[in-house]
Amino acid sequence: MLEEGEVFSDLANLPADPPPMRNICDKCERPSTVCWCSALPNPPLCPKHKIIILQHPAEEKRSLRTAPMLKLGLKKESCVIYKGKRFPGQNQDLENLLLQPNTLLLWPSQESVDLTEIANDKSFSSLNLVLLDGTWPQAKTMYSGNKILHKLKQTKLLVKRNSNYIIRTQPTDGCLSTLETAAEALSILEKNSIYKEKLINPLKSLCTYQLQNGAVSHESKEFRIKNKTYPKLVGKRLNKVLRSAEKFHPI
């Protein structure tokens, strides 16, 4: 046990001021050493269509999320983010957006129409495209718990490439992050590949830095299950996950 004098001596050696804080970027709100703002489109891209993100509260807590990249990569009014589990809640602006006839929900279902068909429909000069931001289980909960979403015309992306978000495990091959989903959608709607070429650069920058500093590249859950490298899945539970992966359609 320390004597009283030794305790006071140790206290006296503590610094009077707190340790210096890391510099934080004003735009992305990340430490300057891991800031990806230099990879953002400059100036921000200006689509005629609007992206509306309904974000699960748990997604906001993730340090490596992509919705902020999308918001900063587009002009201010082109991407809006609403956070919560119940929508529209008390937000009249969101309710007005969701009730507009040109508002679509990007959601995989039997009723969903290929987004390419929507892009070729000249009856809409501009669209509001709603994306649910969260894990797949969170997105399903948000959809089932918000009846207003069921009233929206549904559309889907048919993509064949894997995600650039290689430091995070995706549910299936072909499943994209929120940023990549929006970038693909805007490229189709705007008929301009610049959106999927430039919007995902911050994500590539983030992944490159993480891999250089100890992170590892992740295969999708579907890939690992099929190759028997996914842990703690046996018997009925394994079969259930395999059936789910076969039915999954990325949004």
User: Distance (Å, rounded) from C-alpha 195 to C-alpha 45?
Assistant: 8
User: Distance (Å, rounded) from C-alpha 245 to C-alpha 223?
Assistant: 10
- The pLDDT, as a whole number, for residue 247 is 46
Other Cβ atoms less than 10 A from the Cβ of 57: the count is 11
> Looking at 48-57, 136-145, 181-190, 237-246, which range is the least confident one?
237-246
Tokens of 188: 């189709």
SS (H, E, C) the chain: CCCHHHHHHHHHCCCCCCCCCCCECCCCCCEHHHCCHHHCCCCCECCCCEEEEEECHHHHCCCCCCHHHHHHHECHHHEEEEECCCCCCCCHHHHHHHCCCCEEEECCCCCCEEHHHHHCCCCCCCCEEEEEECCHHHHHHHHHCCHHHHCCEEEECCCCCCCCCCCCCCCCCCCCCHHHHHHHHHHHHHCCCHHHHHCCHHHHHHHHHHHHCCCCCCCCHHHHHHCCCCCCCCHHHHHHHHHHHHHCCCC
Q: For the residues 102-110, what does the mean pLDDT come to?
A: 95
Query: Does 248 score more than 50 pLDDT?
Result: no
| Percent of the chain whose predicted confidence (pLDDT) is above 90 | 56
Is the distance from CB of 122 to CB of 164 less than 8 angstroms?
Answer: no
Question: Computed over its alpha carbons, how large is the radius of gyration of the chain?
Answer: 22
- The pLDDT, as a whole number, for residue 182 is 98
Q: In this predicted model, which residue has the larger pLDDT, 250 or 232?
A: 232
- The pLDDT, as a whole number, for residue 3 is 55
Domain range list for the chain: 32-218
- The pLDDT, as a whole number, for residue 204 is 94
User: Distance (Å, rounded) from C-alpha 137 to C-alpha 140?
Assistant: 5
Is the distance from CB of 79 to CB of 70 less than 8 angstroms?
Answer: yes
Q: What pLDDT, in 10s, does the model give residues 138-196? A: 999 999 999 999 999 999 998 777 888 877 666 666 688 999 999 999 999 999 999 99
Query: Does 250 score more than 50 pLDDT?
Result: no
Q: Which pLDDT band holds residue 83 (cuts at 50, 70, 90)?
A: very high
**Predicted model pTM:** 0.79
Q: In this predicted model, which residue has the larger pLDDT, 105 or 244?
A: 105
Is the distance from CB of 250 to CB of 174 less than 8 angstroms?
Answer: yes
Other Cβ atoms less than 10 A from the Cβ of 77: the count is 8
